[in-house]
Amino acid sequence: MIDALFGSKTRVKLLHLFLNNPNRAFYVREITRKIDEQINSVRRELANMLSIGIIKSDSSNNRLYYEINQDYPHFKPLREIFADSQLQSEAAATVESNDWSKRLKPLGDVRVAVFSGSLVKGSSSDVDVLIVGDINKTQAKRFMKELEEDENRALNYTVMSYEDFYYRLSIKDRFVASIVSGKYTVLMDTEQILTKS
């Protein structure tokens, strides 16, 4: 439906990428990898988006970088639309950013990480962050403290082993279901377990 409204699948993916990463610039080959579209199609849509002013470009280190133009008149309403669009799966929009991988790495062997609750528009879960894997509890507390500082509020989080999570998911445990049956944002899912469930 969104594809039809905005003209093409490539354009929708580009808008999703740029609007969910408003302070990041991307070069063409990086963009094609992230959105999994042909380079010619990406170049064509980038040219269209540049011509109407929704993105801007800048060259650095012999590369041309593109980023969202936050001064574009319709930036805020477009961001509201695409921040909540579900492009990766019916239930979740995967965050297209390596930043979370880097931030989660010190926690240990993170196999699933999810935002829900107050961090995701439309989620009714009581849990804001779910972290699954072989996790260092001290590092998890540090990560959550930093996240709470970023959000300027207290957050509810849960840490569990992958085996526990997998079992609970398979028996449709009420607690896990309360998180993954509604709206959530995937930060990490190394086994693609959430797309299979």
Q: Which fold has domain 2-83?
A: Arc Repressor Mutant, subunit A (1.10.10)
Q: Which fold has domain 99-196?
A: Beta Polymerase; domain 2 (3.30.460)
- Residue 105 backbone phi and psi in degrees, to 5: -55, -45
Q: What is the pLDDT along the chain (197 residues), one digit of tens a residue?
A: 455 557 788 998 999 889 887 777 888 888 988 888 999 999 999 999 999 999 999 887 667 889 999 999 998 888 888 765 444 433 334 444 456 788 899 999 999 999 888 877 667 889 999 999 999 999 999 999 988 887 777 899 999 999 999 999 999 999 999 998 888 888 888 888 887 65
- CATH 1.10.10.10 segments of the chain: 2-83
CA atoms of 132 and 187, how far apart (whole Å):
11
For 38-182, strand residue ranges (E) read: 55-60, 63-68, 108-115, 129-135, 157-160
- CATH 3.30.460 segments of the chain: 99-196
pTM: 0.53
